[in-house]
Structure 1
Amino acid sequence: MIIWLASYPKSGNTLLRSMLSAYFFSKEGIFNLDIIKNIKQFPNVTLFENLGIDIRNEEEVVKNYIRVQETFNKKNSVQFCKTHSCLFNYYNKYPFTNLEISLGAIYVVRDPRNVVTSYAKFSKDSVENVAEIMINKTYLSGDLNASKKKGERTTVLLGTWGSNYETWKSFTVDNKYLLIKYEDLITSPEEVFTKILKFIFKLNKKKLKIDKKKFDNVVRTTSFEYMKSLEIKDGFTESKIDPETNKKIPFFNLGPKNDWKKLLDPEITKKIEIAFKKEMEELGYL
């Protein structure tokens, strides 16, 4: 069954997937940039095309979310699946997923004041525009028809930063929800990754037995600097092309050094803090 790895963009989902893919899909626990492909993304255009679904018809696509998930879901094994989607009913009638085919969800959250600068850099957009999207728009990310890269053709209803975080709490039913803060994953990777593995094994009703050698290798080879060096050396498929320079925008840019106190305009900081006061206080960001 599916364990969702959910987050708003630029919130640490890649780091989480890197750690899990290195631990579960490698022999020694040593991360490389290709191994992350073992974790599916949803929605993904290819999955719908394989079932003959018209991807140009947005309602037809969301109408078939559950059907598509059922095609790759294996009830007797864990299927990790990444998403940036909100968790609610599209067109007020089509659910993103359900608890019958979902084993649980790990949600990664990051201080929105750092998300906004990271997302702006990644998308080659202004910080002001990205802040507006995060605060006010149920934003559709991707274009089903324009991009040549299939991953970028996937339409994703992000919701606002706050609604994206809030909607996934519905998985708290039967303790199927684990909240992880990106900041904790960076500063205390051993402690947080142990918590993640305990959650996964519990969901799968298996006794936790951690391979210490693999575990240590995972932590060592998924540090920001290590992953940044891999991208410089080998490139990373999830990075985007700068339309002005035709060169790839570094995916691993500042990481932990992305500090809103130094980078973010005070007016934008204030806007974000007012818009997400409830969520930020709840998470300890305010």
Structure 2
Amino acid sequence: MIIWLASYPKSGNTLLRSMITAYLFDKEGKFNFDLLPNIKQFPNTSVFQNLGVDSKDQNEIIKNSIRVQESFNKKESVGFVKTHNMLFNFNKLYPFTNLDNSLGVIYMVRDPRNVVLSYARHLDISIEEAVKFFTKGKANDIFLMGNWSENYLSWKSFRQYNKYLLIKYEDLIANREKTFLKILKFVFNLRGMNLSIDQNKLKNVLRTTSFDYLKNLEKEKGFRESMKSKDGKSIPFFDKGVKRKWSETLDKDLSIEIEKNFKNEMVELGYL
């Protein structure tokens, strides 16, 4: 069964995966990038292709989403899967996932004014371009992400089954131990298991997944999820983290546009 790690891009999903893999997949709780493949990503081009699905055809991806999940999902065990997709039900015929395949979801959210700055840098596009995509994206865009609010709201449907945990990126930074313990408790509860914390592993997880540690690790080892700029230069994945402050960088008119588009959700989350 799948436990989804869902989020809009640049909202802290990598930090979440780093902490989970360090605690669950390393005996000492020490993180390194080689642990991340323990968490699958979806959609995954190769998995679709292995089943003869044209991964370049958006309609085929939508139609075969459940089928592909069934192909790699082992019902007798639990696996984590990362996604930036929204939880859609296309034309009421093709759901992104279902409860036969999904045990629950941890949804990561971050102040959209900071997300858009990080997203623009990550893709080497202008902030204006990022804001346009960010606010106007629809459920049928090529990435099936929707816009920021559509993505966030869609996954809340898991709440009615007590299979939903919302984590704010800001909390995972400011109150790391408390928030991570909340995540572990949720995961173990989904699996019907009692949680007994290994304090030494926990200490190592917190130390080896700090932003500065991850940034230095990328400098030393490189990170395959980093992007290339238009001129071919590498764009470091770990840049500013919590030090990124939209109030100091984001144009006032653009921040107003974001706040206008996402007012209800931002108020709900305490960002306004």
Aligning the two structures, in what range does the TM-score lie when normalised by the shorter sequence? over 0.9
- The AA in structure 1 aligned to 2:258 is I
- Aligned twin of 2:262: 276
Residue 104 in 1 paired to residue 91 in 2? no
1:185 offset after TM fit, Å?
0.2
Residues 174 and 92 of structure 1: is their aligned pair in 2 closer, same or farther, counting only changes over 3 Å? Answer: closer
Matches within 5 A, 1:97-246: 97-138=97-138, 156-244=143-231, 246=232
1-side partners of 2:224 and 2:139: how far apart? 23
Residue aligned with 1:74, SS: coil
Cα pair 1:43 1:156 within 8 Å, conserved? no
1:192 offset after TM fit, Å?
0.3
1:174 offset after TM fit, Å?
2.0
1:77 offset after TM fit, Å?
1.7
Residue aligned with 2:159, SS: helix
Q: Which deviations, in whole Å up to 9, do the C-alpha atoms of 1:205-255 show, x marking residues without a partner?
A: 0111111111111111000000000000010000011121x2210100110
2-side partners of 1:56 and 1:2: how far apart? 24
Q: Give unmatched runs, 5+ long, in structure 2.
A: none
Task: Please identify, of 111-120 and 47-56, the stretch whose mean Cα deviation from structure 2 is larger.
Answer: 47-56
Aligned pairs, number:
272
Residue 75 in 1 paired to residue 75 in 2? yes
Using structure 2 for the length normalisation, give the TM-score.
Answer: 0.97
2-side partners of 1:57 and 1:256: how far apart? 37
Specify which of 221, 228, 243 is matched with residue 257 of structure 1.
243
Cα pair 1:138 1:160 within 8 Å, conserved? yes
Cα pair 1:106 1:178 within 8 Å, conserved? yes
1:169 offset after TM fit, Å?
0.1
Residue 48 in 1 paired to residue 48 in 2? yes
Residues 263 and 112 of structure 1: is their aligned pair in 2 closer, same or farther, counting only changes over 3 Å? Answer: same
Residue aligned with 2:217, SS: helix
2-side partners of 1:40 and 1:136: how far apart? 28
Residue aligned with 1:107, SS: strand
Q: Give unmatched runs, 5+ long, in structure 1.
A: 142-154
1:156 offset after TM fit, Å?
2.3
Residue aligned with 1:156, SS: coil
1:159 offset after TM fit, Å?
0.3
1:66 offset after TM fit, Å?
0.5
Residue aligned with 1:80, SS: strand
- The AA in structure 2 aligned to 1:268 is L
2-side partners of 1:15 and 1:56: how far apart? 29
2-side partners of 1:252 and 1:181: how far apart? 18
- The AA in structure 1 aligned to 2:72 is F
2-side partners of 1:54 and 1:274: how far apart? 38
Residues 241 and 139 of structure 1: is their aligned pair in 2 closer, same or farther, counting only changes over 3 Å? Answer: farther
1:140 offset after TM fit, Å?
7.0
1:91 offset after TM fit, Å?
4.2
- Aligned twin of 2:13: 13
1:92 offset after TM fit, Å?
4.0
Using structure 1 for the length normalisation, give the TM-score.
Answer: 0.93
- Aligned twin of 1:30: 30
Q: Compute the RMSD of aligned alpha carbons.
A: 1.2
1:56 offset after TM fit, Å?
2.9
Cα pair 2:86 2:139 within 8 Å, conserved? no
Cα pair 1:106 1:180 within 8 Å, conserved? yes
2-side partners of 1:55 and 1:72: how far apart? 16
Residues 12 and 183 of structure 1: is their aligned pair in 2 closer, same or farther, counting only changes over 3 Å? Answer: same
Cα pair 1:117 1:264 within 8 Å, conserved? yes
